[in-house]
Amino acid sequence: MRTERVLLRIGQADGRTASVPMRHNLSHQRGSRCYFGALAEPDAEIGEATEPSFTGANLFEALAVWRATIEPEGWRLLHGAARADCWSRPGHASPFVEQLLPGREATHRLNALDPAPFDTVTTLAEQRANFEAWQAALPPVPVGRVPPREGHGDDPPVVEFGPLARLAGRILGSRE
């Protein structure tokens, strides 16, 4: 099985850093499989039946499981996957993360293995809180024009429509 070998950088608040060898494989069928320790060595034989060290639907999720083992000791992953302003796109088996832009639904794609300085990375719990805050700050998505259910015709609208939208609704409604 083909794997990519990378050297992960980890760091502590006091400035100490270390390199951790990893091999990983990403496929749409099995998601991301990461191999650490002896399996990360270049001459290690890794086949389809080799048990991975950590797995996830994508590289971000597999690294998140590994991060849970190093973060209690104060270590932080120094890559895009651990940036405070990044999160994975659900349902996509990819090596990318999305940089979250405050107040905007649009995101910017970054490689999860791009280097990141210590002051831009955080723990997974803090990263999740940042993601949830970003989601909460997004403007509401307008509800589509669906006829009200029986008995709910007088319910107030979920989204406030402007005068032009109301006029269009009256015009379009008169054609029925």
Query: Could you report the per-residue pLDDT of 44-99, keeping only the tens digit for each?
Result: 898 889 999 999 999 999 999 999 999 999 999 999 999 999 999 887 889 999 99
Q: How far apart are CA 143 and CA 165, in angstroms?
A: 13
pTM: 0.76
Helix (H) or strand (E) holding 20, with range, is strand 17-27
Please report the pLDDT score of residue 1 as a whole number.
80
CB 69 within 8 A of CB 115: no
Consecutive H or E run containing 135: helix 124-137
Cβ(17)–Cβ(7) below 8 Å: no
Total residue count of the chain as it appears in this document? 176
Helix (H) or strand (E) holding 66: helix 59-70
Residue 39 in 3-state DSSP? Answer: helix
- The per-residue pLDDT for range 26-43, each reduced to its tens digit, is 888 888 999 999 998 988
Q: What is the pLDDT of residue 130?
A: 96
Element (H, E) at 132: helix 124-137
